[in-house]
Amino acid sequence: MDKKNTRQYIFVTGGVLSGVGKGITAASIGATLRARGVSVSIQKCDPYLNVDAGTLNPAEHGECYVTKDGAETDLDLGHYERFLDIELTRESATLSGRLLLELIEAERAGKFLGRTVQLVPHLTSIIQDAISKSGAGSEVHIVEIGGTVGDYEGLAYIEAIREFAAQVGRENCQFVHVVYVPYLSASKEFKTKPAQNAIRDLRSFGIAPDIIVARTETEPKSDIAGKISLFGGVPTEAVVVLPNADTIYRVPLTLEESGIAELIADRFGRAGKETDMRQWQELVTRATSTHTKRVHIGIVAKYLDNEDTYFSVVEALRSAAWKEGVQLMYTWVSAERIEEEGTEQLREFDGILIPGGFGSRGIEGKIAAATFALENQVPYLGICLGLQMAVIAAARRGGIPDATSSEVDPTTSSDVVFIMPEQKGLEATGGTMRLGNYPAELKRGSLAESLYGASTIIERHRHRYEVNRRFEDAIIKGGLSISGESPSGKLVEFIEGTNHQFFIATQAHPEFTSRPQRPHPLFVGFIEAAILQK
Ligand code: GLN
């Protein structure tokens, strides 16, 4: 069989611990294949029983990443999009809960005609269908399995991919197992035993790994690849050690330099192709250069204990700073601390950013921060909730002292941010969220239009509440103009400060489409304004 006419699959599983960079490894493997001119698609299979990743607590799971077609997914999809510079769809985010729901609904609808419905073969075959569907159209499809091998919840996925390899031909599949190798400071050695056990676990499910990625905190001095190779039964050249990198964008280069990328290509009959890694070299140079010129951004938020919660926002800020050749410093500012201590602490920043958020905790602190930026000529970028906070700040200045959002106070009559009447009563159903791509028309001559360099734009959304245009006069009086609307003219998409050098906010989430090589114009404009602020 001509290998190139068959889709090929790379399955990325994890052992020992989760959260050691399996997603970045999967995305980086994809990047090295793309550098060889191979078309790549990618998918994450999550073992959670949730039907929707949108309901997972971001402080625990990291950011909820939204695709253009409105799927609420986890932050690995963000890595995939940034590393592969593609836009994914819901087909790339597979959750056990959704598959089980599909299975049970099919059973309820009588589709099984009274046969016994089982995890194997029924759930596994749904998983296999989801993999085939997600991979359609590409030469190599990468599938990352969430969690670690052996987790109860993930067993159906492991069985499904084992069978899948038998169906499409083992030679068209590679299994990459990402294991963690801890360092014991007492004896000053890396311990490969958990990795050996994790490889054995994978074998016990009938899968012999082709590639082992050993994640370590630091560069090991001893030959841990040799040890893993010996005890894991995988050739040494198929074991790569990936210590924590100075920037995640170095990982594709490390895979290339170690020879693993070429080995993976070779096993798919794709060796010896011209490989263009220039964009990664340039990106790493930019990302690791130090500059004497600095900008200091204050990010006012609710969750401060998990950097992953706003991963894409931070990546967008970083990429904009790389483009501008300045050193980015950012500080998480607790919105609740502003409520207790006031806005004086914001004086040290060259720019203030309020990212997306839900719920009423810390809201007054965020409104105070937006007011501070508006009144003190501090560059401001508001994202989603950050727009709503700015609008409330302006309405209060413009004569509605008790202006608020009905998300905070459902009974208020000063609902400057509210639920559109046609959506009232559906708040708890999840059905009212505006998710995914929506267009906006930008006002001629506005800051938004000049930053985008276009008057019609599309951005991803994830919100429920809208600006209540009944209060438009007060909002304008308070110092803002409405600079972007939905095509119907009904919804407010962008606002900006009228007498302000850089005060802009959007109801959308521009951070999701920002790319390390192509930072989003709103973030670039924000960093430029912050530089001028110095
Ligand atoms: N909680 C607000 C809403 O639902 C903002 C959402 C967000 O910032 N993503 O409209």
pLDDT digits (tens, 9 = 90+) for 29-40: 999 999 999 999
pLDDT digit string, tens, across residues 321-354: 999 999 999 999 999 999 999 999 999 999 999 9
* Pairwise CA distance, residues 144 & 307, whole Å: 22
Q: What is the pLDDT of residue 448?
A: 98
> Is the fold of 8-180+247-284 the same as that of 289-531?
yes
Question: What confidence category does residue 1 fall into, taking pLDDT thresholds of 50, 70 and 90?
Answer: very low
Mean pLDDT of 248-256: 97
Expressed in angstroms and rounded, the spacing between residue 25 Cα and the centre of ligand 1 is 31
| pLDDT at 5 > cutoff 70 | no
Expressed in angstroms and rounded, the spacing between residue 521 Cα and the centre of ligand 1 is 22
Q: What is the pLDDT of residue 430?
A: 53
Domain residue spans of the chain: 8-180+247-284, 289-531
Ligand 1 test: best mutation among 63, 383, 463, most atoms within 8 Å of CB?
463
Exposure b/e, 12-32, CB count within 10 A at least 16 = b: bbbbbeeebbbbbbbbbbbbb
Ligand 1 nearest-atom number relative to CA 465: 10
Ligand 1 test: best mutation among 72, 309, 388, most atoms within 8 Å of CB?
388
| pLDDT at 151 > cutoff 70 | yes
Q: What is the pLDDT of residue 427?
A: 53
| Residue nearest atom 6 in ligand 1 by C-alpha distance | 463
Exposure b/e, 485-508, CB count within 10 A at least 16 = b: bbeeeebbbbbbbeebebbbbbbb
Expressed in angstroms and rounded, the spacing between residue 468 Cα and the centre of ligand 1 is 14
Ligand 1 nearest-atom number relative to CA 359: 1
> What is the residue whose two structure tokens read 């296999």?
128
Q: What is the pLDDT of residue 298?
A: 97
The CB-side HSE value for 142 (13 A sphere, CA atoms) comes to 30
Q: In this structure, what token pair is assigned to residue 466?
A: 């809208």
Of the chain, the percentage scoring pLDDT greater than 70 comes to 96
Question: What confidence category does residue 10 fall into, taking pLDDT thresholds of 50, 70 and 90?
Answer: very high
Give catalytic residues, as residue numbers.
Answer: 384, 509, 511
Mean pLDDT of 74-88: 95
pLDDT digit string, tens, across residues 355-382: 999 988 999 999 999 999 999 999 999 9
Q: What is the pLDDT of residue 50?
A: 81
* CATH match for 8-180+247-284 among 2.60.40.1180, 3.30.70.270, 3.30.559.10, 3.40.50.300: 3.40.50.300
| Residue nearest atom 7 in ligand 1 by C-alpha distance | 356
Helix (H) or strand (E) holding 66: strand 64-66
Average pLDDT over the chain reads 93
| pLDDT at 310 > cutoff 50 | yes
Ligand 1 nearest-atom number relative to CA 407: 1
Expressed in angstroms and rounded, the spacing between residue 388 Cα and the centre of ligand 1 is 8
Question: What confidence category does residue 3 fall into, taking pLDDT thresholds of 50, 70 and 90?
Answer: very low
| pLDDT at 433 > cutoff 90 | no
Q: Which residues line ligand 1 (CB under 6 A)?
A: 356-358, 384-385, 407, 462-465
Q: In this structure, what token pair is assigned to residue 323?
A: 């483009």
* Pairwise CA distance, residues 385 & 509, whole Å: 10
Mean pLDDT of 505-530: 98
| pLDDT at 57 > cutoff 50 | yes
* Pairwise CA distance, residues 213 & 234, whole Å: 11
Ligand 1 nearest-atom number relative to CA 466: 10
pLDDT digit string, tens, across residues 175-210: 999 999 999 999 999 999 999 999 999 999 999 999
Q: What is the pLDDT of residue 424?
A: 64
Of the chain, the percentage scoring pLDDT greater than 90 comes to 84
Find which of 24-28, 185-189, 218-222 is predicted with most confidence, using mean pLDDT: 24-28
Question: What confidence category does residue 59 fall into, taking pLDDT thresholds of 50, 70 and 90?
Answer: low
* CATH 3.40.190.290, applies to 289-531: no
Total-model pTM:
0.93
Question: What confidence category does residue 2 fall into, taking pLDDT thresholds of 50, 70 and 90?
Answer: very low
Expressed in angstroms and rounded, the spacing between residue 75 Cα and the centre of ligand 1 is 18
Question: What confidence category does residue 428 fall into, taking pLDDT thresholds of 50, 70 and 90?
Answer: low
Ligand 1 test: best mutation among 65, 384, 434, 461, most atoms within 8 Å of CB?
384
Expressed in angstroms and rounded, the spacing between residue 501 Cα and the centre of ligand 1 is 26
Range scoring the smallest mean pLDDT among 19-23, 424-428, 516-520: 424-428
